[in-house]
Amino acid sequence: MKAPLRWWIYRLAAFVPLLVLIASPALARVGSGENYNSGRSSSGSGDDGALVEIAFLLIRVAIEHPCVGIPLLILFAVGVWYWKRQEGSASTRHALDAAEAQRRTSVSSRDAEGWVNALKAKDPKFDLMAFFDRTKKLFVDVQEAWFRRDLEPVRRFLSDSTFTRLGTQLKIMHANGIRDALADVQVIDLQIIGLEQSQFFDSVHVRVKASVRDDDAPNTATDEQARALAQKKTPETFTEVWTFLRRPGVQTDTSKDLAQGFCPNCGAPFSGGAANTCEHCGAIVNSGNYDWVLAEITQGSEYVGANAAVDGLAKARQRDAELTTEVLEDRASFIFWKWIEAQVAGDSIKLAKVASPPFVERLKADLEALSSSGRQKVFQECAVGAVNTLSIGDADDEELANIEIRWSAKTGIGPRGQKPPNLPSVPQRWVFTLARKAGAHTPMKAGVSTARCPNCSAPLSDNSSTSCDYCGAALASGERDWVLKEVSSWEGFGARAPAPSAPRPASARVPDREERERLLYLMAAMAMADGVVDPNERKLLKMCSERWSVPWANVELALNAGPGLFDKLVSRGSVEAETFLRELVAMALIDGKIDRKERKLLEAAAGHLGLGGRLDEFLKGQ
């Protein structure tokens, strides 16, 4: 007996939304770290909600008007399948990320044993298994705190920048109308994969392999509803690197274990609190001065290990012996997330205590101009890939530190109070210039707890005052601590930055994978700036994709973003444009020569950048 037509419609109806959802990657996990886009093939789920709505609309049409609805439903299903196939399946992307994470985080057993022995040499009671047990518990606790959107239970174990990062990302998700749905968090394996020891900090890098069921849920969903939604998802396995810091000389003492509820300095009971300060001895428990503190969470596919030498650091330490890149980068990371939060909230006051007054005023003017036109800044899936100190130097009566931050986000301008527009995830490379008065010294009492008054160590508030609410010390002036002075694109910084005091080795001049991907992404956006990419430009982009070992799907991300993206990143005819062309020329000259195809590519780039006729000048300058 033949099944009725309606039966077949329902069968097809069940298949279409499933096709959409299976092909759609979840955006969950702590800190949305997997959303970091260095340029590798990736896709967000911004369109998937709309696809599901269309699917159910077509289902209803098919039921009520089968002759019209069924063909449309079939065409829609085929179209979704083809579109997702062109993007690359989520399973393929996860497999590529897993392979990259495995490559970057694999170490020999001999190296791991050596790192453990080095820790034991300074701390005989250090027990790797006990350290792993603590890490495993913290990992699960942080996931749960993230899921419940309440980070206070784990605040004592996080550096200020890590706490601010997670809190800001939760606010961004809430502003975009979503929350993370997590279930069945399991730690599969832990492995120490690196140790850096200096006179200032011991840094332990732990690879965490874990699995979780995750999905996005409406921000109005209860914990029970979100958990039920996550339970329907297939478990996803992922790898992260958790970096813990602690002062050299600190000894393991179970009677002063923060994880057991005791102050790591005096051993008194400690129950937490926003100040993270022991009521008995005044110790800042998340400073790294007394116990291990989680200072960074890095996706396994982005882990790069120790940083290179910093230009100007040795000279700066002659004046400030306690200056460390660990503290400096933690401060820069904290300020970065406050900068993001200020733009998401449309309120420059968020930066009042950690940025110079001129910077705050400029940002205030920009935000007010947007607000008066009924628009706002939009940030979705914001994630950081790396924070690296580039250089430290002097300027007049100030000391300046330039910190590179590699990050990505779906960012743009959207109508205020309305659903954010669909945006491409753009890999970005910016430099945050921090300043402090000459003669200022690092407040090492705070360690990597950098969201504090450098005078009295009180936590910073978000009010409009530029002074400490507790002791009245000036904060925004840079008299005692680093404040944000300027934010530049990588090209903008390169256009004004002096050359390093020492020549870089040839190996350091070869762009890494992330930089090659960023450059090619910008080239594709540049080609699309006028709204049309001709066949020759497409061929040249494909040539670069092959030669630079960058997946073609990355180029298509920029091509699909539409015109206007590049103009927001680099202005034509500007010093930034000159810097960008100089970077492209250096990339083409990696093998010591420029062939005919590369010449055509550079000529096209020079034309797009408003530098037509000047290519030979840039070639001679290399």
pLDDT digit string, tens, across residues 550-583: 878 777 777 876 666 677 678 888 888 888 888 8
Whether the predicted pLDDT of 492 surpasses 90: no
Q: What is the mean pLDDT of residues 218-229?
A: 94
Instruction: Evaluate whether 62 touches 33 at the Cβ level (below 8 Å).
Output: no
∠ CA 546-557-589, nearest 5°, is: 35
Q: What is the CATH number of the domain that holds 169?
A: 3.10.450
Claim to verify: residue 460 and residue 332 sit in the same structural domain: yes
Q: Are residues 472 and 441 in the same domain?
A: yes
Bridge partners (DSSP) listed for residue 408? 383, 427
Choose among 176, 205, 226, 173: nearest CA to 418. 176
Which band of pLDDT confidence, cut at 50, 70 and 90, is reported for residue 79? Answer: low
pLDDT band at 498, cuts 50/70/90? low
Q: Tell me what the mean pLDDT of segment 525-534 comes to.
A: 82
Task: List, in order, residues 6 or more apart from 13 with CB less than 8 Å away.
Answer: 59, 62, 63, 73
The predicted structure's pLDDT at residue 113: 94
Give the model's pLDDT for residue 62. 67
Taking each helix axis from N to C end, the angle separating 552-559 and 513-527, rounded to the nearest 10 degrees, works out to 40
Same domain, 490 and 515: no
Q: Which two tokens stand for residue 397?
A: 């009566």
Over residues 413-439, the mean pLDDT reads: 82
pLDDT at 282 over 70: yes
Between the alpha carbon of residue 568 and those of residues 107, 357, 364, 564, the distances in Å are 41, 25, 19, 7
530 and 486 in a common domain = no
> Which of 445, 469, 502 is a domain's end point?
502
Containing domain of residue 24, as a range? 5-30+44-87
For residue 95, tell me if it sits in a domain: no
Please give the Cα distance from 503 to 71 (Å, whole number). 65
Same domain, 350 and 236: no
**Do both 538 and 482 map to the same domain?**
no
d(CA 61, CA 80): 18
> Does residue 363 sit in the same domain as residue 293?
no
Mind giving me the DSSP string for 389-409? EEEEEEETTEEEEEEEEEEEE
Would you list the DSSP string of 286-331? Answer: TSSSSS-EEEEEEEGGG---SPPPPBTHHHHHHH-TT--HHHHHHH
Could you give the number of structural domains in the chain? Answer: 4
Q: Which of 305, 324, 343 is the last residue of a domain?
A: 305
Q: Is the pLDDT of residue 48 over 60?
A: no
Q: How many angstroms separate the CA atoms of 340 and 378, rounded?
A: 10
Element of type H or E holding 546: helix 535-547
User: DSSP character for 174?
Assistant: H
Domain boundary among 254, 283, 305: 305
Residue 440 in domain: yes
Q: Domain containing 370 — which CATH number?
A: 3.10.450.240
Q: Does residue 476 sit in the same domain as residue 558?
A: no
Residues 605 and 576 in one domain: yes
Residue 270's CB is within 10 A of a number of other CB atoms, namely 23
Q: Which residues of 324-348 are buried (b: 16+ CB within 10 A; e: fewer)?
A: bbbbbbbbbbbbbbbbbbbbbbbbb
Judge contact between 255 and 262, C-beta under 8 A: yes
d(CA 153, CA 136): 16
Q: Are 176 and 107 within one domain?
A: yes
Is 311 found in the same domain as 294? no
Q: Which two tokens stand for residue 328?
A: 């400096």
Q: Does residue 298 sit in the same domain as residue 346?
A: no
pLDDT category of residue 31 using cuts at 50, 70 and 90: low
